[in-house]
Structure 1
Amino acid sequence: MGSEVVEKSGGKASFDVGAAAELVEGLRGAFAAGRTRSYHWRQSQLQGLLKMTEEHEQEIADSLRADLSKPEFESFVYEAAMLKNSCRLALKELKRWMVPEKAKTSVTTFPSSAEILSEPLGVVLIISAWNYPYYLSLDPVVGAIAAGNAVVLKPSEVAPATSSLLAKLVGEYLDATCIRVVEGAVPETSALLEQKWDKIFYTGNGRVGRIIMAAAAKHLTPVVLELGGKSPAVVDSDTDLKVSCRRIIVGKWGCNNGQACVSPDYIITTKDYAPKLVDAFKHELEKFYGKNPLGSKDLSRIVNSNHFSRLSKLLDDDKVSGKVVHGGQRDESELRIEPTILLDVPRDSLIMEEEIFGPLLPILTVTKIEESFDIINSGTKPLAAYLFTNDKKLKEKFVTCVMAGGMVVNDTTVHLAVPTVPFGGVGESGMGAYHGKFSFDAFSHKKAVVYRSFMGDAALRYPPYTSLKLRLMRALITGRLFTILGAIFGLSSD
């Protein structure tokens, strides 16, 4: 089913606004012809994605190694396996998702029936991120295909090896009349954003998210923004210290060496408990990554020199001088920074003012653990918030009082692997959600359909209006008339 792939600027063909318009016009033609709407088409494309991932798992790992020096374990667990799980779930549930949902009607439309039909939006644009460039590119595509849309995928140019692989494989395994890949950087993305889309799905940072929204506003295009933020981890003294540290470590440094939107960005704990926590981190980090973590094959490198310089600037800030209690070593030639812990950093330091997105982990201390709630809520709403405690009341307060896109108690990041709950941000950390059925819904319009027969055509609703009709209508709307009718005819008020 594969054919042509749109190539990036500087390749065999340039991609400008004219090319983008031609691309979208072709996809709209295929969508208008109904090509994407059938269950069979959706099923075949999802099967194609699954087969593509299964047959090219090593190539995927190789491209991720080239782009990020990502360990093969992480490539499999967090990218290939998660994408395959998304495909399998969609294939299993697709028929059920496509069935119209029955809805109740009211006495005002009696006799009638109603349903909610999940209708594809049309032609959608998906702009992906570089940190999980395979999974974050294709997981939204799973939802878009399942919902019956035509799709343009724009992978991140910051992960060029994976972008190139996606362009090649998607062209080979999927229907190129309805699903296309556009490679490139800012010029190509800008050309795409000039077009009218039926939805734009963007994964990345808030700065670009604002650009996406501004472009979408020109055409009143709805958007899903999967952004980031400073996701906190609150560690209570009433916890399993070893397990808590190990789970924070894998969520921070075991997820792309901190280059993940849901990685713990900073920790809050009590002054009394902080020394024990730091010691436990040091012990577990050495067990995981050895005495020379800069040489560990189990840690990803920083993606490029720009991000390396940005992270170095956070470490070199005068306000955090002397706050490093573990790590801090850097190798600019290899773009590597070892796991680094900083204790009692000022809240007005650079490292606390922006999302870190790297292997640096500040620890803030408080007198009482409940003080962490106000600290978290005083900033923008994070994408994720984590709590480690055995205290039942503290768990309840945390879930009730702390505002965040999602939460995990006594672990980090694992909510991404639960397809029955939505994944998404709130406020500065994003809008909209996906995963599982929520991905299908994100790319669907919920169309209300009400069915009536020609029976029961009451004169009450038609002119000429009389005082009697008004009294009857008042009784109908307030429910008194329905109570009377129910008593006469045995109708239920449900």
Structure 2
Amino acid sequence: MSVKVKACVACQRNGRKTCRRTRLGEPCLKTFPLECVELLQRARATFRSGRTAQEAFRLAQLEALLRMLGEHECDFVEALGRDLHMPRFETIMSELIPVKNEALHAIANLKKWMQPQHVQATTLDESLVVSEPLGVVFIIGAWCSPVQQTLGPLVGAIAAGNCALINPYEHTSHTAELLHRLIPSYLDNECYHVVLAGVNVLDEVVELGFDHVFFIGSRADGNRVAQAAARTLTPVTLVLGGKNPCYVDLQCDLAVTARRIAWARFHNAGQSMAAPDYVLCHADVRERLVQALKCCVMQFYGPDPQESRSFGRMVNPESFNRTRDLLWRSGKVAVGGQVIEAEKYIAPTILTNVVETDAIMQQDVSGPVLPILSVDNVDEAIAFINRQEKPLCMYAYSSDGTVISRLMKETSSGAFCSNDSVLQSMMVALPFGGVGASGMGSHHGRTSFDTFSHRKSCLLRGTRFECVTYLRYPPYEDRNLSLMTWASALSVRTQGWCQLL
């Protein structure tokens, strides 16, 4: 329930209109599987009524989502500040604006996306591919980017005409509670429901039988979700974490490279699925790169990042302990390394003397720690990358186009970006998703619309050519087979007028 309170400090400082606020910190009751059954039934009944099929309805819901983000910007800043110590700048730039861009892109293109696509299959028929909504989908957001990675997929589900149950991750409890309160005030209460099901019951909820499950998160949780979905033959999209490699070539602008890597790795205290996970570079570059990264940490966060308002904190004690233990068991600290358990604080840290068998190379790094490994050349880097499981993202920094081309073509990853980091995961025109161990399926823009749609093949044929199509019917005659074989061969050469006549 919205209440009137004093404007947030950021709004007062910038002389802007007071934001509408919601109460934060009040406990929200968790949603249990039995409650989800009722919500699923309500959503399915509403979907069958045809409410979501209309373009006007979909546009209205997308516009309402935009209003929610605009009118409650301060609430999102406060919630993410409490969950992740996320700076206001990062909240707006990496959490709110990407979702707004997704919604605006969908609004601008929805009419075109909904139109049937004509296919030239034969000259005798009309062939169409029609995008129809799947039904009721289940969207499970991620804790490391709890607004973008929950509402971003929701945009695609709405645009495609689905109803949805939305499950924000419990680790970012203040953001989850905020979404739980706000969404019913803006979106259709029968079509879209926010549930707060904990990780331990996700598989039970998935087994209720949705028309699609969209999950962003860790491989371990994604594996559980996929297994639960398989038991009801529910299709899934999985965007999973992974060890994203970053190759730094001998030929590159080292100052720019260091800034872009440091920004991507230490943004949100390193809690990002798309950030570079480790660096591979030539030994001749390593010391200069470490010094450049050290300078970037100083420029970004000052002499003591703990005091910086631009640097976040780990999401919970478990994540803090895990990252700290990986840090202490791997390589040598070249920059940072300080930890404060009471604050869940880990300083921006660069590790050198790291080897492939170190603990930090065996697990995803969801924290502000960047290992640097040495390779002799690009061939060794490619071999190293290909020995690992396929990552979600691959990065390459080089001024040599041949090096960039080789890394792009000779490695496999969900996404590739040269001479920058993370940006490819935020562009609505580019599909984003994993491959192999880093997931299946993708989203963003038109790809999200397609992910939450069934592309139905439609052949519209009349009866006026029965004088020819009779050739396919029994009793089978060699003469008829000869005529059909001739017609099929001719059809291939002339762009098709006969498919089984």
TM-score, normalisation: structure 1: 0.92
Contact 2:258–2:296, Cα closer than 8 Å, also in 1: yes
Q: Secondary structure at the match of 1:139?
A: helix
> What residue in structure 1 maps to residue 292 of structure 2?
280
Match of 1:252 in 2: 265
Question: In structure 1, the residue corresponding to 2:460 is in which secondary structure?
Answer: strand
Report which stretch shifted further, 162-171 or 279-288.
Answer: 279-288
Return the offset for 1:455: 1.6
- Give the Å deviation of 1:464: 2.1
Establish whether residue 161 from structure 1 lines up as the match of residue 174 from structure 2: yes
Q: Are 1:298 and 2:310 counterparts?
A: yes
Deviations 1:44-93 (A, max 9, x none): 10011000000000111000000000000000000111111111111111
Q: How does 1:389-408 map to 2 (within 5 A)?
A: 389-408=398-417
Q: Secondary structure at the match of 1:291?
A: coil
Check whether the contact 2:203–2:228 (CA below 8 A) recurs between aligned residues: no
Shift of residue 13 of structure 1? 6.6
- Is 1:358 the counterpart of 2:367? The answer is yes
Query: Where in structure 2 are the equivalents of 1:93-492 lying within 5 Å?
Result: 93-106=109-122, 110-186=123-199, 188-254=201-267, 256-317=268-329, 320=331, 323-457=332-466, 458=468, 459-479=470-490
Secondary structure of the residue aligned to 2:78 is helix
Q: Which amino acid is the alignment partner of residue 90 of structure 2?
A: E
Shift of 1:188: 4.9
How many residues align? The count is 472
Unaligned runs of 5+ in 1: 3-9
Shift of 1:22: 1.6
Partner Cα distance (2:160, 2:255) in 1: 44
C-alpha deviation, 1:453, in angstroms = 1.6
Instruction: Give the superposition deviation at 1:478.
Output: 2.6
Cα distance in 1 for residues equivalent to 2:30 and 2:282: 57
CA displacement, residues 91-110 of structure 1 (integer Å, 9 cap, x when unaligned): 1111111001111113xxx5
Does residue 1:74 correspond to 2:74, yes or no? no
Distance 1:163 1:276 in 2: 42
Deviations 1:314-372 (A, max 9, x none): 1221x53xx11111111111111111111121211110011111111010101113311
C-alpha contact 2:206 2:213 (8 A) present in aligned 1: no
Which of the residues 64, 73, 76 maps onto 1:60? 76
Contact kept in structure 2, 1:16 and 1:187, CA below 8 Å? no
Give the distance between the partners of 2:255 and 2:495, measured in 1 at CA: 67
**Partner AA of 1:266 in structure 2:** Y
Residue 17 of structure 1 and its aligned partner are, at CA, apart by 3.2
- Cα separation, 1, equivalents of 2:493 and 2:277: 57
Q: Is the Cα–Cα contact under 8 Å of residues 203 and 225 in structure 2 kept in the other structure? A: no
Q: Cα distance 1:472–1:483, how it changes in 2: closer, same or farther (>3 A)?
A: farther
- Alignment partner of 1:49 is 2:65: yes
Question: What secondary structure does 1:36 align onto?
Answer: helix
SS in 1 for 2:431: coil
- Separation in 2, partners of 1:384, 1:299: 23
What's the RMSD between the two structures over aligned residues? 1.9
Equivalent position amino acid for 2:82 in 1: A
Distance 1:268 1:465, change over 3 A: same
Q: CA deviation at 1:432?
A: 0.3
Structure 1 residue ranges (4+ consecutive) displaced by more than 3 angstroms after TM superposition: 10-17, 480-486
Is 1:17 equivalent to 2:30 in the alignment? no
2:10 equivalent in structure 1: none
SS at match of 1:132: coil
Question: Counterparts of 1:282 and 1:481 in 2: how far apart (Å)?
Answer: 63
Shift of 1:184: 3.7
Q: Alpha-carbon deviation of 1:456?
A: 1.5
CA gap of 1:231–1:360, structure 2 versus 1, over 3 A, is same
Q: Which amino acid aligns with 1:401?
A: E
SS of 1:253's equivalent?
Answer: helix
Change (3 A) 1:417 1:382: same
CA distance, structure 2, for counterparts of residue 101 and residue 483 of structure 1: 22
Following superposition, the deviation at residue 187 of structure 1 comes to: 5.2
Distance 1:118 1:481, change over 3 A: closer
